[in-house]
Structure 1
Amino acid sequence: TQLGRTSAGPFVPPGLLTERRFVASTMAAGTVMGCLGVAIVATPLHLGRDLGLGPGHIGITMLALALAMTLAAPLSSRVTERFTARRTLRGGLVLLALGLLALPLAATASGHDTVVALTVAALALTGAAIGVVQATSALGLMTSPAAADGVALGLHNMLRFTGLAVGYSWVAIAYPTGNLSLVYGVPVAAVALTWAMAGPTTPSSEPSAERVFHDHR
């Protein structure tokens, strides 16, 4: 990527784009949006094609994901105050991986009603995890030096929504294979990589609002 330059220097200071909190927050936001894209496209396709649910029933089922996202995001701030933002982020990523793994497993259950019930539970877990990771990655971004640079924030948002587009594209590529484990498995691998990028656990004395992804002392 070529950075634009002005007479005063770089259009975007390169240090802002390589700072650890910016990188971790942007990667987390992009990954979770990609997972959201997979969930909100692949799951309705499965419910309609394989279970024969109509649009109304599919919409009600998918509402579990939206409600869980809405409820979990505000609660993440309380969790962050107790466990630090980085631990909250990594915990949310673990829950997201579990939710994505549960979605194809739900499809293997016997009985129409059982599959729907398990899918609702998996969607609720996935949605809650997405809400937590989104809110916590936003905190990481706002406590990084990039928060004071509008262009850096714009780049973060562009990459975040690029993740959503990648999720849609992945479903278009993988869903025709009929292998739901493949459809949801690749996003799980991306979540695992993002979890690793969040960095190692720091001492429990780490203040959540000041040291989001690594110890600055």
Structure 2
Amino acid sequence: MSAGVPRRWLLTLAALSALATLSSNILLPSLPAMASELKAGDAGVTAVLSLFLAVFAGSQLIVGPLSDRIGRRPVVLGGLAAFIAGTLLCATAPDLGLLLGGRAVQAAGVAAASVLARAAARDRFEGPQLAGLLGSIMVVMAAAPGFSPLLGGLVQQAFGWRAVFGVLLVASVAVGLAYVRIVGETLPPSLRRRQPVGAVALGYVALARDGRFVRPALAVAAIMGALFAFFAATPVVLSRDFGLGALQVGSFFAATVFVVFAAGRLAPRWAQRLGSAAVLRRAVWLAALGGVLMLAAGTLGLRLGLAGFAVPACVFLLGMGLAMPVGTAAALTPFAAQAGQASALLGFLQMAAAAVGTGVVAALPMPRATALAAVMLAAAVVAAFSLGRAARASAIASAAR
């Protein structure tokens, strides 16, 4: 637990952040059953995931500045209400069209929870406390895709795929009640920003041109893209290349959570000791090392078996786990007056990178493990380039003074 942050706060904000990832990954084992019952092809059931991701990304750009204007609480609760309505529609959908409609409503609603968990953290905390809280949130977000497919498979096997949406319904109600009782409003009226639409657009432009935001934000987004590529490619690699069954694949994901957990605990301590910029640079190089090791194992003919995939994956995840909380805190800290908007743009960049990462890893004409290694390495290079520009700008500014 992050020092100085109440445990109830930490768990509630982490649950808000994880609800989006849970909503996406818990359905993975149920996609074949959905396709069969609703008479949908592969493209149709794939849209259950891709549409969710697209709507989720775009909705963040709206809910962030809206919360800066009217407060966090009404936007979070309105988003959770929309999520519940979409979940009920999905659970009762008689055809693919209504299922996709429900998924779109779900995504728009849960975007508020994800964005405003970060904004609420920024409203109340800063410095090492903020990095520690974001690290703990990140651990839970990493645990959600690790454990949710296993949970979804068990529920689907016992009760059918529609019952999976019942799990999401219960989770959203529980998270909403916890938010009302524990967190509540974190942005007082005196700090709210009543901007017209044009000013909001200009605010996004200003953030995109501000190196204090865009450099760590691009680094974090690049690493997030590689993480989602890992989620997309790993089940195929483990099942096709190593012959693992569904339960073993789920167990592999669950085991990787402990690597991310360790990184999330280390990140705030190292940031306090070494500085955020130094930790972020080291994290990016670790992510790059994971890509290099995986590329070597896949292309140089090393007969390492499952370890040849698992060890590089863990090295990458360690770097990712260090980069995400430190980079997120670095991107949000200078913008307390527009934390919702900054968090929204950061979330949009991350989800856009996630879409690119998953698309590229599926499209590259090479073995899936090699494609994943290439995406990891490319993402780390992009992140390092972004941070390198930040370091050069800082050096120039220091010399000028």
Q: Indicate the TM-score class for this superposition, using the shorter chain for normalisation.
A: 0.7 to 0.9
Report the equivalent of 1:57. Answer: 248
Taking the TM superposition and a 5 Å limit, the aligned residue runs for 1:120-131 are: 120-131=310-321
Report the equivalent of 2:354. Answer: 164
Mapped to 2, the partners of 1:7 and 1:142 lie a distance apart of 22
Can you list the C-alpha shifts for 1:144-163, whole angstroms capped at 9, x where unaligned?
22663422321111111121
Report the equivalent of 1:173. Answer: 363
Secondary structure of the corresponding residue to residue 10 of structure 1: helix
Mapped to 2, the partners of 1:60 and 1:8 lie a distance apart of 47
Deviates further, 79-88 or 119-128: 119-128
* Change beyond 3 A, Cα 1:187–1:125: closer
What is the identity, as a one-letter code, of the residue corresponding to 2:233? A
Among residues 87, 109, 120, which one is paired with 2:302 in the alignment?
Answer: 109
Report the equivalent of 1:73. Answer: 264
Q: Root-mean-square deviation (CA), in Å? A: 2.7
Mapped to 2, the partners of 1:147 and 1:102 lie a distance apart of 42
1:164 positional shift: 1.4
Secondary structure of the corresponding residue to residue 144 of structure 1: coil
* Change beyond 3 A, Cα 1:106–1:146: farther
TM-score normalised per structure 1 = 0.79
Q: Which runs of 5+ in 1 are unaligned?
A: 203-212
Which of structure 1's runs of 4+ aligned residues deviate more than 4 A?
6-9
Report the equivalent of 2:164. Answer: none
1:109 positional shift: 3.2
Percent identity (aligned): 25
* Change beyond 3 A, Cα 1:106–1:54: farther
> Which structure exhibits the higher relative contact order, with contacts defined as CA atoms closer than 8 Å and separated by 6 or more residues?
1
Can you list the C-alpha shifts for 1:179-207, whole angstroms capped at 9, x where unaligned?
643442244123112212113696xxxxx
Among residues 338, 363, 369, which one is paired with 1:148 in the alignment?
Answer: 338
1:68 positional shift: 0.9
Mapped to 1, the partners of 2:315 and 2:328 lie a distance apart of 20
Report the equivalent of 1:207. Answer: none
Q: Is the 8 A contact 1:89 1:133 kept in 2?
A: yes
Among residues 35, 59, 81, which one is paired with 2:226 in the alignment?
Answer: 35
Say which structure is richer in helix. Answer: 2
Taking the TM superposition and a 5 Å limit, the aligned residue runs for 1:92-103 are: 92-103=283-294
1:21 positional shift: 2.0
1:90 positional shift: 0.9
The reply on whether 1:184 has 2:373 as its aligned counterpart is: yes
Report the equivalent of 1:210. Answer: none
Q: Which runs of 5+ in 2 are unaligned?
A: 1-64, 66-194
Q: Is the 8 A contact 1:64 1:124 kept in 2?
A: no
TM-score normalised per structure 2 = 0.45
Report the equivalent of 1:199. Answer: 388
1:131 positional shift: 0.8
What is the identity, as a one-letter code, of the residue corresponding to 1:22? F
Count of matched residue pairs: 199
Secondary structure of the corresponding residue to residue 177 of structure 1: coil
Q: Is the 8 A contact 1:76 1:132 kept in 2?
A: yes
1:9 positional shift: 6.2
Q: Is the 8 A contact 1:17 1:146 kept in 2?
A: no
Mapped to 1, the partners of 2:197 and 2:242 lie a distance apart of 60
* Change beyond 3 A, Cα 1:66–1:104: farther
Larger radius of gyration: 2
